[in-house]
Amino acid sequence: MTPATESYITATTVICRNKVIQNGREILNLPEEDLPGFLLAVYRNLEVQYPKFHKMDLLSKMGWLAAECLLDGSSLNQRVSPQRIGVVLSNANSSLDTDLKYFETTRVMASPALFVYTLPNIVTGEICIRHGFKGENAFFVQEEFDADLMQQYMSQLINNNILQAGICGWVDLLGQQYKTVLFLVEKEARGLAQPFNTANIIKNFTTENG
Amino acid sequence: MVKLMSDLKSQIIAQLNLQDVKPEEIGDDQPLFVDGLGLDSIDALELIVLLQQEYKIKLSNAEDGPKVFKTVRTMAEYIKAHQAQNA
């Protein structure tokens, strides 16, 4: 069993029910928007220029936006080598939302731009490209969020000095049902400085805002 | 030709989801790839789809791609030449 307290949750971001919650604080709530409109509004609210965002599928947009919020002000890249920052994500619906949209396009003409997003781990790639992360990454497809697995997998990577920091969590979407919960996990106790254990993961995952 | 280039600019923006770009910001002779609009290889495939969907033109030789998709003007010239051939 991997020791549970050698690393810390230093930041969290939750995106669900048309809200963005950063470190437990609601920073955006747009109940009237549909999902594409909501994600576009979150992007505009961040005031970043990243034209590639508009080409991403909804799953990648949501994970990318959550990572932007999560890393906001963390100066992670200045403190940790890119080779020692990883991303470990999971979800229940894989890339099914985009798979279905891609399948629809094949009736007329298959869309290459959609085809490239018909894998769930593309969202990890988009986050890594944006922030220059070059460490270990993984994507698990599970029926439900498994806090134990996430804790053990990330802790193993950190305790074995493969990673010094990483983003982990849940990025799930199908139709209008979606939920993203990301954790920034670091060896040093900074920011929220919550011990990275299953209880804290579950607490953040099931927060009343989330 | 001017109308065709204007249509192409709007179609490129729609097909490639270039939400931050306006048609008038794309120059007729501005390179579409690398230094110009910064399009990538997936965008090139989408441009092939655009030609097929909007103009019923199949790019028969993939090696023609870089020449055809160099600028909006070269795309328009290719379409015109193809339409003249099939008139």
Provide ipTM, 2 decimals: 0.77
CATH of the domain at B49: 1.10.1200.10
Query: Which token pair is A118?
Result: 């018909």
Per-residue pLDDT band for A36 (boundaries 50, 70, 90) equals very high
Question: Which residues partner with A177 through β-bridges?
Answer: A174
Q: Kindly identify which residue of chain A lies nearest to residue B44, measuring between CA atoms.
A: A112
CB–CB contacts below 8 A, A to B: 30
Q: Residue B12, Cα to own-chain centre: how many angstroms?
A: 6
> Cα separation of A166 and A155, whole Å?
10
pLDDT at residue number A208: 53
In percent, how much of chain A has pLDDT > 90? 89
d(CA A204, CA A183): 9
Q: What percent of chain B has pLDDT over 70?
A: 100
Where helices occur in A72-194 by DSSP H, the ranges are 76-79, 96-106, 112-115, 122-131, 147-159
The DSSP result for A76-104, as a single string, is: HHHHS-GGGEEEEEEESSTTHHHHHHHHH
B21 in a domain, yes or no? no
DSSP reduced 3-state for A160: coil
B21 contact residues in A (CB cutoff 8 A): 51
**A33-46 as b/e, with b when 16 or more CB fall inside 10 Å?**
eebeebbbbbbeeb
Residue range A124-130: mean pLDDT, rounded:
97
Mean pLDDT of B11-32: 91
Is residue B38 in a domain? yes
> pLDDT band for position B63 (50/70/90)?
confident
pLDDT above 60 (res A68): yes
User: Per the domain annotation, does B20 fall within a domain?
Assistant: no
Q: Where are the domains of chain A?
A: 8-205
Question: Which pLDDT belongs to residue A8?
Answer: 97
Give mean pLDDT, residues A57-86. 96
Number of domains in chain B: 1
The verdict on a CB contact (< 8 Å) between B17 and A55 is yes
Test B45 with A108 for CB contact under 8 angstroms.
Answer: no
The verdict on residue B50 lying in a domain is yes
Provide the domain limits for residue B48.
Answer: 2-15+26-85
Tens digits of residue pLDDT in A141-181: 999 999 999 999 999 999 999 999 999 999 999 999 999 99
Question: To which CATH superfamily is domain A8-205 assigned?
Answer: Thiolase/Chalcone synthase (3.40.47.10)
In chain B, which residues have their Cβ closer than 8 Å to the Cβ of A51?
18-21, 38
Top pLDDT among A4 and A120 is at A120
Give yes or no for B60 touching A (CB within 8 A): no
